[in-house]
Structure 1
Protein backbone atom coordinates (compact mmCIF):
# COMPACT_ATOMS: atom_id res chain seq x y z
CA UNK A 1 0.00 0.00 0.00
CA UNK A 2 1.19 3.42 -0.66
CA UNK A 3 0.37 6.92 0.28
CA UNK A 4 -0.74 7.80 3.68
CA UNK A 5 -1.57 4.14 4.50
CA UNK A 6 1.96 2.96 3.94
CA UNK A 7 3.40 1.09 6.91
CA UNK A 8 6.88 2.00 7.90
CA UNK A 9 9.16 0.47 10.48
CA UNK A 10 9.27 -2.99 12.04
CA UNK A 11 6.17 -2.83 14.35
CA UNK A 12 2.59 -3.29 13.27
CA UNK A 13 -0.14 -1.36 15.05
CA UNK A 14 -2.12 -3.47 17.57
CA UNK A 15 -5.80 -3.42 16.94
CA UNK A 16 -7.43 -4.16 20.36
CA UNK A 17 -10.50 -2.93 22.19
CA UNK A 18 -9.99 -0.13 24.63
CA UNK A 19 -9.76 -1.22 28.28
CA UNK A 20 -12.81 -0.56 30.41
CA UNK A 21 -12.33 0.07 34.11
CA UNK A 22 -15.84 -1.12 34.89
CA UNK A 23 -14.93 -4.71 34.15
CA UNK A 24 -11.95 -4.56 36.44
CA UNK A 25 -14.02 -3.11 39.29
CA UNK A 26 -16.76 -5.75 38.86
CA UNK A 27 -14.21 -8.56 38.80
CA UNK A 28 -12.59 -7.26 42.00
CA UNK A 29 -15.96 -6.97 43.79
CA UNK A 30 -16.96 -10.46 42.69
CA UNK A 31 -13.68 -11.86 43.98
CA UNK A 32 -14.12 -10.15 47.37
CA UNK A 33 -17.72 -11.45 47.72
CA UNK A 34 -16.66 -14.98 46.77
CA UNK A 35 -13.84 -14.95 49.31
CA UNK A 36 -16.19 -13.59 52.01
CA UNK A 37 -18.78 -16.29 51.37
CA UNK A 38 -16.13 -19.00 51.39
CA UNK A 39 -14.78 -17.71 54.72
CA UNK A 40 -18.25 -17.49 56.29
CA UNK A 41 -19.09 -21.02 55.14
CA UNK A 42 -15.83 -22.30 56.60
CA UNK A 43 -16.63 -20.70 59.97
CA UNK A 44 -20.10 -22.24 59.96
CA UNK A 45 -18.66 -25.69 59.32
CA UNK A 46 -16.13 -25.22 62.12
CA UNK A 47 -18.95 -24.18 64.51
CA UNK A 48 -21.02 -27.22 63.57
CA UNK A 49 -18.23 -29.69 64.25
CA UNK A 50 -16.81 -27.99 67.36
CA UNK A 51 -20.07 -27.08 69.12
CA UNK A 52 -20.22 -23.41 68.17
CA UNK A 53 -20.39 -20.70 70.78
CA UNK A 54 -20.55 -22.70 73.99
CA UNK A 55 -21.22 -19.71 76.25
CA UNK A 56 -24.25 -18.60 74.25
CA UNK A 57 -25.56 -22.17 74.10
CA UNK A 58 -25.15 -22.55 77.88
CA UNK A 59 -26.99 -19.27 78.49
CA UNK A 60 -29.88 -20.36 76.25
CA UNK A 61 -30.01 -23.71 78.04
CA UNK A 62 -30.24 -22.01 81.45
CA UNK A 63 -33.07 -19.77 80.24
CA UNK A 64 -35.05 -22.74 78.92
CA UNK A 65 -34.53 -24.69 82.15
CA UNK A 66 -35.64 -21.75 84.28
CA UNK A 67 -38.79 -21.36 82.18
CA UNK A 68 -39.66 -25.08 82.41
CA UNK A 69 -39.40 -25.37 86.21
CA UNK A 70 -42.73 -25.41 88.08
CA UNK A 71 -43.57 -22.18 89.87
CA UNK A 72 -44.86 -23.73 93.08
CA UNK A 73 -45.37 -27.20 94.58
CA UNK A 74 -48.81 -28.81 94.32
CA UNK A 75 -51.28 -28.31 97.17
CA UNK A 76 -51.35 -31.13 99.72
CA UNK A 77 -54.42 -33.34 99.37
CA UNK A 78 -56.49 -34.51 102.35
CA UNK A 79 -56.34 -38.11 103.53
CA UNK A 80 -59.41 -40.29 102.88
CA UNK A 81 -60.12 -40.36 106.64
CA UNK A 82 -60.48 -36.59 106.57
CA UNK A 83 -63.19 -36.65 103.89
CA UNK A 84 -66.81 -37.21 104.99
CA UNK A 85 -68.78 -38.76 102.13
CA UNK A 86 -72.57 -38.91 101.81
CA UNK A 87 -73.49 -41.67 99.36
CA UNK A 88 -76.74 -41.37 97.41
CA UNK A 89 -78.30 -43.69 94.84
CA UNK A 90 -79.81 -41.95 91.80
CA UNK A 91 -80.53 -45.20 89.93
CA UNK A 92 -83.61 -47.46 89.97
CA UNK A 93 -81.46 -50.32 91.33
CA UNK A 94 -81.67 -50.78 95.09
CA UNK A 95 -78.80 -51.33 97.50
CA UNK A 96 -76.12 -49.54 95.47
CA UNK A 97 -75.59 -46.68 97.95
CA UNK A 98 -75.13 -49.06 100.91
CA UNK A 99 -72.69 -51.27 99.00
CA UNK A 100 -70.65 -48.30 97.76
CA UNK A 101 -70.62 -46.72 101.25
CA UNK A 102 -69.39 -49.98 102.81
CA UNK A 103 -66.59 -50.22 100.25
CA UNK A 104 -65.55 -46.59 100.77
CA UNK A 105 -65.50 -47.17 104.53
CA UNK A 106 -63.11 -50.12 104.01
CA UNK A 107 -60.86 -47.78 102.02
CA UNK A 108 -60.63 -45.31 104.89
CA UNK A 109 -63.26 -42.70 104.04
CA UNK A 110 -65.59 -41.30 106.71
CA UNK A 111 -69.18 -42.10 105.77
CA UNK A 112 -72.07 -39.72 106.45
CA UNK A 113 -75.60 -40.15 105.10
CA UNK A 114 -76.51 -43.13 102.89
CA UNK A 115 -79.74 -43.41 100.92
CA UNK A 116 -81.64 -42.43 97.81
CA UNK A 117 -80.68 -39.26 95.93
CA UNK A 118 -82.68 -36.06 96.45
CA UNK A 119 -85.48 -35.43 93.94
CA UNK A 120 -83.33 -32.89 92.05
CA UNK A 121 -80.87 -35.67 91.13
CA UNK A 122 -82.95 -38.88 91.32
CA UNK A 123 -82.59 -40.70 87.97
CA UNK A 124 -81.04 -37.51 86.52
CA UNK A 125 -77.32 -38.38 86.71
CA UNK A 126 -76.52 -39.94 83.31
CA UNK A 127 -72.88 -40.93 83.89
CA UNK A 128 -71.20 -43.14 86.46
CA UNK A 129 -71.73 -40.60 89.20
CA UNK A 130 -71.44 -37.04 90.45
CA UNK A 131 -69.44 -35.40 93.22
CA UNK A 132 -71.30 -32.53 94.86
CA UNK A 133 -69.81 -30.22 97.48
CA UNK A 134 -68.62 -26.76 98.43
CA UNK A 135 -66.34 -24.83 96.03
CA UNK A 136 -63.38 -25.46 98.37
CA UNK A 137 -63.71 -29.21 97.72
CA UNK A 138 -62.95 -28.96 94.00
CA UNK A 139 -59.15 -29.06 94.36
CA UNK A 140 -59.05 -31.22 97.48
CA UNK A 141 -61.83 -33.70 98.38
CA UNK A 142 -63.10 -34.07 94.80
CA UNK A 143 -59.61 -34.98 93.61
CA UNK A 144 -59.15 -37.72 96.23
CA UNK A 145 -62.68 -39.12 95.99
CA UNK A 146 -62.51 -38.97 92.18
CA UNK A 147 -59.85 -41.70 92.22
CA UNK A 148 -62.53 -44.09 93.55
CA UNK A 149 -65.00 -43.31 90.77
CA UNK A 150 -63.25 -42.34 87.51
CA UNK A 151 -65.30 -40.32 85.05
CA UNK A 152 -67.54 -38.78 87.69
CA UNK A 153 -68.88 -35.27 87.12
CA UNK A 154 -68.09 -32.48 89.58
CA UNK A 155 -70.57 -29.85 90.73
CA UNK A 156 -70.52 -27.30 93.53
CA UNK A 157 -73.30 -25.90 95.68
CA UNK A 158 -73.65 -23.31 98.44
CA UNK A 159 -73.07 -25.57 101.44
CA UNK A 160 -70.74 -24.34 104.19
CA UNK A 161 -69.74 -27.81 105.43
CA UNK A 162 -66.77 -29.85 104.19
CA UNK A 163 -68.74 -33.05 103.47
CA UNK A 164 -69.03 -34.31 99.90
CA UNK A 165 -71.98 -36.05 98.25
CA UNK A 166 -71.28 -39.01 95.99
CA UNK A 167 -74.37 -39.50 93.83
CA UNK A 168 -74.30 -42.77 91.88
CA UNK A 169 -75.44 -42.36 88.27
CA UNK A 170 -77.29 -44.63 85.88
CA UNK A 171 -74.05 -45.99 84.33
CA UNK A 172 -72.54 -46.90 87.70
CA UNK A 173 -71.38 -50.53 87.93
CA UNK A 174 -68.70 -50.52 90.64
CA UNK A 175 -66.09 -48.35 92.28
CA UNK A 176 -62.55 -48.37 90.94
CA UNK A 177 -60.57 -51.39 92.16
CA UNK A 178 -58.59 -50.70 95.35
CA UNK A 179 -55.28 -51.19 93.53
CA UNK A 180 -56.15 -48.82 90.68
CA UNK A 181 -57.54 -46.24 93.12
CA UNK A 182 -54.41 -46.44 95.29
CA UNK A 183 -52.19 -46.05 92.23
CA UNK A 184 -54.15 -43.00 91.07
CA UNK A 185 -54.00 -41.47 94.56
CA UNK A 186 -50.24 -42.07 94.78
CA UNK A 187 -49.77 -40.41 91.39
CA UNK A 188 -51.66 -37.36 92.70
CA UNK A 189 -49.75 -37.04 95.96
CA UNK A 190 -46.30 -37.96 94.65
CA UNK A 191 -46.20 -37.20 90.92
CA UNK A 192 -43.23 -38.69 89.12
CA UNK A 193 -40.78 -35.98 88.03
CA UNK A 194 -40.63 -35.45 84.31
CA UNK A 195 -37.23 -36.21 82.78
CA UNK A 196 -35.35 -32.97 82.24
CA UNK A 197 -31.92 -32.22 80.77
CA UNK A 198 -31.46 -29.35 83.25
Structure 2
Protein backbone atom coordinates (compact mmCIF):
# COMPACT_ATOMS: atom_id res chain seq x y z
CA UNK A 1 0.00 0.00 0.00
CA UNK A 2 1.14 3.56 -0.49
CA UNK A 3 0.48 6.91 0.90
CA UNK A 4 0.05 7.50 4.54
CA UNK A 5 -0.70 3.81 5.19
CA UNK A 6 2.77 2.69 4.11
CA UNK A 7 4.45 0.45 6.68
CA UNK A 8 8.09 1.05 7.38
CA UNK A 9 10.64 -0.73 9.64
CA UNK A 10 10.98 -4.39 10.60
CA UNK A 11 8.24 -4.54 13.33
CA UNK A 12 4.68 -5.43 12.50
CA UNK A 13 1.57 -5.04 14.57
CA UNK A 14 0.28 -8.20 16.30
CA UNK A 15 -2.79 -9.57 14.63
CA UNK A 16 -3.76 -12.07 17.41
CA UNK A 17 -4.76 -11.64 21.07
CA UNK A 18 -2.26 -12.53 23.77
CA UNK A 19 -2.73 -15.96 25.30
CA UNK A 20 -3.95 -16.03 28.83
CA UNK A 21 -1.09 -17.88 30.47
CA UNK A 22 -2.53 -17.50 33.96
CA UNK A 23 -5.60 -19.54 33.11
CA UNK A 24 -3.42 -22.24 31.57
CA UNK A 25 -1.32 -22.54 34.73
CA UNK A 26 -4.45 -22.91 36.88
CA UNK A 27 -5.79 -25.64 34.64
CA UNK A 28 -2.49 -27.56 34.77
CA UNK A 29 -2.31 -27.38 38.56
CA UNK A 30 -5.91 -28.50 38.91
CA UNK A 31 -5.32 -31.46 36.64
CA UNK A 32 -2.26 -32.47 38.65
CA UNK A 33 -4.20 -32.34 41.90
CA UNK A 34 -7.01 -34.44 40.46
CA UNK A 35 -4.56 -37.03 39.18
CA UNK A 36 -2.81 -37.15 42.57
CA UNK A 37 -6.04 -37.71 44.47
CA UNK A 38 -7.12 -40.35 42.00
CA UNK A 39 -3.81 -42.16 42.33
CA UNK A 40 -3.99 -42.15 46.13
CA UNK A 41 -7.54 -43.48 46.05
CA UNK A 42 -6.47 -46.22 43.66
CA UNK A 43 -3.69 -47.31 46.02
CA UNK A 44 -6.13 -47.45 48.90
CA UNK A 45 -8.49 -49.64 46.92
CA UNK A 46 -5.63 -51.94 45.96
CA UNK A 47 -4.66 -52.30 49.62
CA UNK A 48 -8.24 -53.15 50.56
CA UNK A 49 -8.73 -55.82 47.92
CA UNK A 50 -5.24 -57.31 48.01
CA UNK A 51 -4.86 -57.34 51.81
CA UNK A 52 -2.19 -54.67 51.87
CA UNK A 53 -1.03 -53.86 55.36
CA UNK A 54 -2.10 -57.32 56.46
CA UNK A 55 1.20 -57.92 58.17
CA UNK A 56 0.84 -54.91 60.40
CA UNK A 57 -2.83 -55.58 61.15
CA UNK A 58 -2.16 -59.24 61.84
CA UNK A 59 0.71 -58.37 64.13
CA UNK A 60 -1.51 -55.90 65.95
CA UNK A 61 -4.28 -58.43 66.34
CA UNK A 62 -1.84 -61.04 67.58
CA UNK A 63 -0.44 -58.55 70.08
CA UNK A 64 -3.93 -57.67 71.31
CA UNK A 65 -5.12 -61.27 71.51
CA UNK A 66 -1.96 -62.75 72.97
CA UNK A 67 -1.82 -62.68 76.73
CA UNK A 68 -4.95 -60.73 77.50
CA UNK A 69 -4.88 -60.94 81.24
CA UNK A 70 -3.41 -62.86 84.10
CA UNK A 71 -5.89 -63.77 86.76
CA UNK A 72 -5.35 -65.65 89.97
CA UNK A 73 -7.45 -68.74 90.19
CA UNK A 74 -7.36 -71.69 92.54
CA UNK A 75 -5.51 -74.66 91.12
CA UNK A 76 -5.70 -78.25 92.25
CA UNK A 77 -1.92 -78.49 92.17
CA UNK A 78 -1.70 -75.48 94.50
CA UNK A 79 -3.81 -77.13 97.19
CA UNK A 80 -1.81 -77.86 100.33
CA UNK A 81 -1.38 -81.34 101.75
CA UNK A 82 -4.22 -82.64 103.88
CA UNK A 83 -3.59 -81.10 107.28
CA UNK A 84 -4.32 -82.93 110.51
CA UNK A 85 -6.66 -81.42 113.05
CA UNK A 86 -5.22 -80.30 116.40
CA UNK A 87 -6.86 -83.32 118.08
CA UNK A 88 -4.74 -85.57 115.84
CA UNK A 89 -1.46 -84.00 116.90
CA UNK A 90 0.38 -85.02 120.04
CA UNK A 91 2.64 -82.27 121.37
CA UNK A 92 5.50 -82.64 123.86
CA UNK A 93 5.98 -79.32 125.63
CA UNK A 94 9.56 -78.83 126.81
CA UNK A 95 11.02 -75.89 128.68
CA UNK A 96 14.51 -74.73 127.63
CA UNK A 97 14.46 -71.63 129.84
CA UNK A 98 15.20 -71.00 133.50
CA UNK A 99 11.59 -70.01 134.19
CA UNK A 100 9.88 -72.75 136.11
CA UNK A 101 6.34 -73.92 135.38
CA UNK A 102 6.39 -72.53 131.82
CA UNK A 103 5.98 -75.92 130.15
CA UNK A 104 2.96 -76.81 132.29
CA UNK A 105 1.02 -73.60 131.66
CA UNK A 106 1.77 -73.74 127.93
CA UNK A 107 0.69 -77.38 127.72
CA UNK A 108 -2.57 -76.60 129.50
CA UNK A 109 -3.33 -73.81 127.02
CA UNK A 110 -2.61 -76.05 124.02
CA UNK A 111 -4.86 -78.71 125.47
CA UNK A 112 -7.69 -76.18 125.71
CA UNK A 113 -7.20 -75.47 122.01
CA UNK A 114 -7.69 -79.11 121.11
CA UNK A 115 -4.16 -80.53 120.95
CA UNK A 116 -3.17 -83.76 122.59
CA UNK A 117 -0.43 -83.36 125.16
CA UNK A 118 2.38 -85.86 125.55
CA UNK A 119 5.48 -85.25 127.67
CA UNK A 120 5.71 -82.06 129.73
CA UNK A 121 9.05 -81.12 131.31
CA UNK A 122 12.50 -79.69 130.71
CA UNK A 123 14.27 -79.74 127.36
CA UNK A 124 17.22 -82.02 126.70
CA UNK A 125 20.82 -80.81 126.99
CA UNK A 126 20.86 -80.22 123.25
CA UNK A 127 18.39 -77.35 123.70
CA UNK A 128 18.47 -76.44 127.41
CA UNK A 129 19.23 -72.71 127.79
CA UNK A 130 20.32 -72.61 124.14
CA UNK A 131 17.12 -71.44 122.46
CA UNK A 132 17.15 -67.66 122.11
CA UNK A 133 13.96 -67.28 120.11
CA UNK A 134 10.35 -67.85 121.09
CA UNK A 135 10.63 -71.57 120.51
CA UNK A 136 11.56 -74.45 118.24
CA UNK A 137 9.17 -77.01 116.78
CA UNK A 138 10.74 -80.41 116.12
CA UNK A 139 9.11 -83.40 114.43
CA UNK A 140 9.75 -86.31 112.07
CA UNK A 141 10.32 -85.68 108.35
CA UNK A 142 6.68 -86.46 107.58
CA UNK A 143 5.53 -83.60 109.84
CA UNK A 144 7.19 -80.87 107.78
CA UNK A 145 4.05 -80.08 105.78
CA UNK A 146 1.48 -81.52 108.17
CA UNK A 147 1.78 -81.32 111.96
CA UNK A 148 4.46 -78.65 112.21
CA UNK A 149 2.60 -76.00 110.17
CA UNK A 150 -0.54 -76.58 112.25
CA UNK A 151 1.36 -76.28 115.53
CA UNK A 152 3.21 -73.18 114.27
CA UNK A 153 -0.11 -71.31 114.09
CA UNK A 154 -0.12 -71.36 117.91
CA UNK A 155 3.32 -69.77 118.29
CA UNK A 156 4.21 -67.09 115.74
CA UNK A 157 7.91 -66.93 114.87
CA UNK A 158 8.73 -70.43 116.08
CA UNK A 159 11.51 -72.19 114.17
CA UNK A 160 10.67 -75.50 112.50
CA UNK A 161 13.02 -78.46 112.36
CA UNK A 162 12.71 -82.06 111.28
CA UNK A 163 14.63 -85.12 112.46
CA UNK A 164 14.84 -87.87 109.83
CA UNK A 165 15.89 -90.41 112.46
CA UNK A 166 12.94 -89.66 114.68
CA UNK A 167 10.21 -92.29 114.94
CA UNK A 168 6.53 -91.79 115.62
CA UNK A 169 4.32 -88.81 114.79
CA UNK A 170 4.73 -86.75 117.98
CA UNK A 171 6.15 -83.24 117.72
CA UNK A 172 8.00 -81.14 120.30
CA UNK A 173 7.38 -77.56 121.26
CA UNK A 174 10.61 -76.37 122.89
CA UNK A 175 10.10 -73.08 124.69
CA UNK A 176 12.94 -70.57 124.26
CA UNK A 177 14.10 -67.49 126.13
CA UNK A 178 12.18 -65.19 123.76
CA UNK A 179 8.86 -66.83 124.61
CA UNK A 180 6.21 -64.56 126.11
CA UNK A 181 2.95 -66.33 125.34
CA UNK A 182 1.21 -68.39 122.71
CA UNK A 183 -0.51 -66.53 119.88
CA UNK A 184 -3.99 -65.36 120.83
CA UNK A 185 -6.76 -67.82 120.02
CA UNK A 186 -8.18 -65.40 117.44
CA UNK A 187 -4.84 -65.00 115.64
CA UNK A 188 -4.16 -68.73 115.80
CA UNK A 189 -7.60 -69.48 114.33
CA UNK A 190 -7.02 -67.03 111.46
CA UNK A 191 -3.60 -68.51 110.73
CA UNK A 192 -5.03 -72.02 110.77
CA UNK A 193 -7.86 -71.04 108.41
CA UNK A 194 -5.41 -69.38 105.99
CA UNK A 195 -3.22 -72.46 106.10
CA UNK A 196 -6.10 -74.67 105.00
CA UNK A 197 -7.07 -72.48 102.03
CA UNK A 198 -5.66 -73.33 98.59
CA UNK A 199 -3.30 -70.70 97.23
CA UNK A 200 -4.33 -69.10 93.92
CA UNK A 201 -1.99 -69.40 90.96
CA UNK A 202 -1.75 -66.96 88.06
CA UNK A 203 -3.27 -68.28 84.84
CA UNK A 204 -3.21 -66.59 81.45
CA UNK A 205 -6.09 -66.47 78.98
CA UNK A 206 -5.71 -66.18 75.22
CA UNK A 207 -8.16 -63.65 73.82
CA UNK A 208 -8.15 -65.45 70.44
TM-score (norm 1): 0.66
Residues 29 and 122 of structure 1: is their aligned pair in 2 closer, same or farther, counting only changes over 3 Å? farther
The residue that corresponds to 1:115 in the other structure is 121
Question: 104, 115, 121: which is aligned to 2:110?
Answer: 104
Counterpart of 1:143 in structure 2 is 149
**TM-score using structure 2 length:** 0.63
**Alignment pair present for 1:160 and 2:170:** no
1:70 maps to which residue? Answer: 75
> What is the alpha-carbon distance in structure 1 between the residues aligned to residue 35 and residue 94 of structure 2?
91
Structure 2 stretches lacking a partner, 5+ long: 1-8, 46-60, 201-208
Structure number with greater Rg is 2
CA change 1:26–1:138 in 2 (3 A) is: farther
The Cα of 1:104 is off from its aligned counterpart by 1.2
Residues 28 and 128 of structure 1: is their aligned pair in 2 closer, same or farther, counting only changes over 3 Å? same
Shift >6 Å, 4+ stretches: none
Task: Give secondary structure in 1 for the equivalent of 2:119.
Answer: strand
Quote the offset at 1:85 in angstroms: 0.8
Counterpart in the other structure of 2:5 = none
Cα pair distance change 1:192/1:156, threshold 3 Å = closer
- Relative to 1, partners in 2 of residues 1:163 and 1:190: Cα closer, same or farther, differing over 3 Å? same
Q: 2:87 aligns with which of 81, 87, 104?
A: 81
- Residue 19 (structure 2) aligns with: 12
Matched, 1:186 2:186: no
Q: Is the aligned partner of 1:134 residue 2:134?
A: no
Q: Name the count of aligned residue pairs.
A: 169
Superposition RMSD on alpha carbons, in Å?
4.0
Deviation at 1:184, TM superposition (A): 2.5
In 2 relative to 1, CA 11–127 (structure 1 residues): closer, same or farther, beyond 3 Å? same
